[in-house]
Amino acid sequence: MQKKALICGVSGQDGAYLAELLLNKGYIVCGTSRDAQMSSFYNLVRLGICDQIKLASVALTDFRSVLQVLTKIQPDEVYNLAGQSSVGLSFDQPVETLESIATGTLNLLEAIRFIGAPIKLYNAGSSECFGNTGEQPADENTPFRPRSPYGVAKATAFWEVANYREAYGLFACSGILYNHESPLRPERFVTQKIISAACRIAQGTDNHLYLGNLSVRRDWGWAPEYVNAMYLMLQQEQPDDYVIATGETSKLEDFVAQAFACVGLDWQEYVTTDSSLLRPTDIAVGRGNPAKAKEKLGWQAQYIMKDVVRMMIEEKQKDYL
């Protein structure tokens, strides 16, 4: 019997790469967005897999809508990658962020419990839940102290998953993922903003890049690797939560320098700090400890920040050929 997977948020970066991975493993893949008839599913088209995926509309904040799609599709596995995905935007849209993430996750859990079928659920957690941990790498036992509405919403969803797993015996996992990038990132994410600006400046179509706090430090990985960790979590005998990270941390300034170096430029000649781009609160250092994922899942990141930058630059430069 072919396994059937439902990916909520299939049109995003992670959803598209996960869909590609599962198709390659022989899954029947179904994907949702809020309005499947109006969505362009650009990332699925870009990967050349859109016509291989069964698409459906669902509003995760509407319990009836969630129940309908689960009953109709009858998936073996559900991957919850939906919801407002920008930390910066969450300060402007805190209510939408909380509802789309926390209420959406709760509706999935409750619908799975209501149906009573042995559906396995993966929930997209976030390192933003940890807040500032200083130089100490965060693992699965590190307390949550989120510093953004996005982090608060993700922390809420994490504990919903843990509660349903313990109270009702659901096979439900959260992956606490650190930053992971790819060419599918939109430009509202600072990493793609940097990559795109470096390529434009190198081509002579732009001459400057404005950024916020360059001293923040993050653990950057490669998105196609991280979706494999999601898949592996649902293949285990027992459900559990895992930190997914490279274990290496770099300054945003280092990311910028690497991107400009890849196109033969000195970043300091083109980059200016703009205080209007600073967030009300931010995480100074993001550092993850992925030891449990390596031990239990056999998962380990193969690409670190410099590799991620190089691969993103190489893909973006194709736009100028």
CA triple 303-311-215, angle to 5 deg: 70
Q: What is the mean pLDDT of residues 195-205?
A: 95
Marked catalytic residue, from 11, 33, 65, 126: 126
Output the domain CATH number for residue 117.
3.40.50.720
Residue 98 counted as domain residue:
yes
Residue 20 counted as domain residue:
yes
Q: Please tell me the pTM assigned to this model.
A: 0.95
Residue 124 counted as domain residue:
yes
128 & 269 share domain: no
271 & 209 share domain: yes
Output the domain CATH number for residue 275.
3.90.25.10
Residue 203 counted as domain residue:
yes
Q: Is 128 a catalytic residue?
A: yes
310 & 240 share domain: no
25 & 171 share domain: yes
Strands 271-273 and 209-211: parallel
* pLDDT value at 280 more than 80: yes
164 & 201 share domain: no
> Tell me, what's the pLDDT at 100?
95
* pLDDT value at 79 more than 80: yes
Burial of 296 by CB count in 10 Å (0-12 exposed, 13-18 middle, 19+ buried)?
middle
| Radius of gyration in angstroms for the set of CA atoms belonging to the chain, rounded to a whole number | 19
> Tell me, what's the pLDDT at 283?
85
92 & 198 share domain: no
Residue 234 counted as domain residue:
yes
Express each pLDDT in 143-193 by its tens digit. 999 999 999 999 999 999 999 999 999 999 999 999 999 999 999 899 999
* pLDDT value at 201 more than 90: yes
253 & 233 share domain: no
Q: What percent of the chain has pLDDT over 70?
A: 100
Q: Is 77 a catalytic residue?
A: no
92 & 32 share domain: yes
155 & 200 share domain: no
162 & 273 share domain: no
Residue 286 counted as domain residue:
no
**Considering Cα of 113, then 169, then 85, then 305, what sign does the dihedral take?**
negative
Number of domains in the chain: 2
Marked catalytic residue, from 77, 128, 181, 253: 128
Residue 144 has phi, psi (to 5 degrees) of -90, 130
Residue with the bigger pLDDT between 227 and 84: it is 227
State how far the Cα of 119 lies from the Cα of 78, in Å rounded to an integer.
7
Do the Cβ atoms of 209 and 201 come closer than 8 Å? Answer: yes
Sheet with strand 77-80: strands edge to edge: 54-57, 28-33, 4-8, 77-80, 120-126, 172-177, 242-244
Q: Range of 87's domain?
A: 4-180+222-244
State how far the Cα of 271 lies from the Cα of 193, in Å rounded to an integer.
12
267 & 157 share domain: no
> Tell me, what's the pLDDT at 260?
98
Q: Is 303 a catalytic residue?
A: no
247: region left, alpha or beta (phi > 0 left; psi from -120 to 50 alpha): left
84 & 136 share domain: yes
Q: What percent of the chain has pLDDT over 90?
A: 87
Q: Does an H or E element contain 7, and which? A: strand 4-8
Residue 264 counted as domain residue:
yes
Tell me the two tokens of residue 40: 């362009």
Residue 288 counted as domain residue:
no
> Tell me, what's the pLDDT at 32?
94
Residue with the bigger pLDDT between 88 and 50: it is 50
Q: How confident is the model at residue 290 (pLDDT cuts 50, 70, 90)?
A: very high
Marked catalytic residue, from 17, 79, 150, 231: 150
